[in-house]
Structure 1
Amino acid sequence: MSGPPEPVWLVAANVVLWRRYGEQGQELRPGTKAYRGGAKVYVVDTYPGTGHRQLTTVGHGRHTGHWITIDTGTRHLHTFRAQLVYGPAVLKRCAGRGFGTREEAEVLAALLERVAREERHAHHGAPHQDGCRCHECLSVTPG
């Protein structure tokens, strides 16, 4: 009989509340097709050859609430951070693929945050409409 699985360091993130969609990004959609806006997800794999534009994530699905594993565009995530994960459901789906130490997970989280910001900025080259509620516009603090 084995005990609980060993915790691993993963990168956690949140799904953007609103994302730009459609021709020139003039429409807004809440969250993603698979995740609700604001949902917490865990990054269990990256694709360095693609410039980290796609990530394999584990989180609660939008429609069923069950745990799902799905590839997600980095631009649809924000607030990347290192987190020691104990949850058996997540550990089962990541199959021991952690990111090593806390420091390694923090370095990856910082890189993914930068890539996500660049991807959101570059994906739709058109200017934002007035009253836009996409993640980038909501993140800007009036100054």
Structure 2
Amino acid sequence: MSGPPEPVWLVAANVVLWRRYGELGQEMRPGTKAYRGGAKVYVVGTYPGTGHQQLTTVGHGRHTGHWITIDTGTRHLHTFRAQLVYSPAVLERCAGAGCATRQEAEELAALLERVAGEERHAHHGAPHPDGCRCHACLPVTPG
């Protein structure tokens, strides 16, 4: 019988509270179809050929609360950060993914944060609706 799995450096992020949806992004939806807004997810795979527009993530599912692994649009995530993960459920699902060092995870997190911001800005070509609550429009509170 082996002991607990070795911790791995992964990139963690949060799901946006609200996202623009529909024609020209004039409607608002909370979170994503798979994740609640604000849910913490771990990035276990990227698709470099697509400009990092899609990421494979592990997190608690919106409807069941069970751990799920699903591809998620980068624009639906924010606050990317490096995190040393000890959770056996996450480690089981990441199947050898992850960064070798904290520095690699921090560099990937910075890249994904930049890409996510660009994707949110470029995805809908129309101006934001009045009273928009998307990630870009919500006031940022320090702390």
Q: Normalising by the residue count of structure 1, what TM-score does the alignment of the two structures yield?
A: 0.97
Aligned to 2:120: 120
What is the aligned-residue RMSD (CA, Å)? 0.9
Deviations 1:63-108 (A, max 9, x none): 0000000000000000000000000000000012111100000000
Matched, 1:45 2:45: yes
- C-alpha distance in 2, partners of 1:51/1:9? 22
Aligned to 2:29: 29
Aligned to 1:78: 78
| One-letter amino acid of the counterpart of residue 9, structure 2 | W
- C-alpha distance in 2, partners of 1:44/1:52? 13
Deviations 1:32-76 (A, max 9, x none): 000000000000000000000000000000000000000000000
Deviations 1:98-132 (A, max 9, x none): 11100000000000000000000000010011111
- C-alpha distance in 2, partners of 1:48/1:82? 19
| One-letter amino acid of the counterpart of residue 112, structure 1 | L
Structure 1 runs (4+) greater than 6 angstroms displaced = none
Q: 1:125 to 1:5 in 2, by over 3 A?
A: same
Aligned to 1:101: 101
Percent of aligned positions with the same letter in both sequences? Answer: 89
User: Which runs of no fewer than 5 residues in structure 1 stay unpaired?
Assistant: none
Deviations 1:6-43 (A, max 9, x none): 00000000000000000000000000000000000000
Aligned to 1:63: 63
- C-alpha distance in 1, partners of 2:12/2:139? 19
- C-alpha distance in 2, partners of 1:48/1:130? 35
Aligned to 1:13: 13
Aligned to 2:138: 138
- C-alpha distance in 1, partners of 2:103/2:36? 29
What is the total number of aligned residue pairs between the two structures?
Answer: 141
